[in-house]
A and B are shown apart, each in its own frame.
Chain A
């Protein structure tokens, strides 16, 4: 079905999936990346500290 016909028949679905769900997925990916970055950085800093202790 033509997208123009579909969006006019289902405007709320179009608005919800296209904009709000898209934005929420982007925010969720950003949160996951930030949490992962924090865990990775903490792990790396701990490894560096342990390596320093052994020297």
Chain B
């Protein structure tokens, strides 16, 4: 049996599929958050150098990684919308932006919270932290630019350009700790392996998957509202079961 994936590139097909997928991500995400936080606070051992403060890492690292990843996904969708003029791609980009911005905000906030007891400062204009702050402004710029243009297709194109140009910031964030002498430490987890204790690795992985699934569920839910809003004049919308009540 072959699946026609292009079928799901249309808002009509994707609307129903997204609705079915939401619980498959939302429920595991809630369970994984509970498990991850339990492991983070009760199972993972105390760090020899950082004491209890290192436990911030279990929320800081997943949100920081995913904030960069979501920006690339958002820019990818925006580029697809710009090149192929596909309606759903632009809608997906708009749906990802608020969640990406919130993940960036959480990573900056938790980073500052970790910085105070470890470095003695909430904030420093270090390359990693500054480029991450720029990422937050890029997300906010995308949302603001899209909201400022009334005609949706024009808004999609303008915001897509910003997203594509802004994606150059993602490798800058990632490699900033290698390119410049930063206060922020280098990556603990590398492709070559890690020196991190095994329980810590499992906790970090659990929290990363929890955050990822949460984001997918929220983005799918948001894109359904965007589809409803933008396709409201079409016949298929009025035939939806939720429209009959």
Contacts and interface: CB of A to CB of B under 8 A. Distances in A.
A and B from one assembly? yes
Interface of A: 3-4, 7-8, 11-12, 14-16, 18-20, 22-24, 26-27, 30-31, 34-35, 37-38, 41-42, 44-46, 48-49
B225 A34 contact: yes
5 contacts: A15-B56, A20-B59, A22-B106, A26-B106, A44-B229
Interface in B97-117: 98-99, 102, 105-106, 109-110, 113-114, 116-117
B225 A30 contact: no
Interface string B217-245: 01001101100110010000110001101
B63 interface: yes
From A4, A23, A27, A42, residue with most partner B Cβ within 10 Å? A23
Given A7-B116, A15-B55, A18-B113, A45 B229 contact: yes
Contacts of A4: 116-117
Range for the number of chain B residues in contact with chain A? 35 or more
Contacts of A7: 116-117
Contacts of B56: 15, 18-19
Nearest to B99: A30
Contact of B228 (A11, A31, A42): A42
A25 to B, nearest CB: 10
Of listed B116, B214, B225, B229, residue having the most chain A CB within 10 A:
B225
Nearest to A45: B232
B128 interface: no
B116 to A, nearest CB: 7
Contacts of A11: 51-53, 117
Given A12-B52, A31-B218, A20 B237 contact: no
Nearest to A40: B225
Contact of A30 (B55, B117, B218): B218
B121 to A, nearest CB: 11
B109 A22 contact: yes
B41 interface: yes
Contacts of A31: 218
Contact of B109 (A8, A19, A41): A19
A15 B57 CA distance: 10
A16 B37 CA distance: 10
B225 A38 contact: yes
Contacts of B225: 34, 37-38, 41
Nearest to A12: B52
A34 B113 contact: no
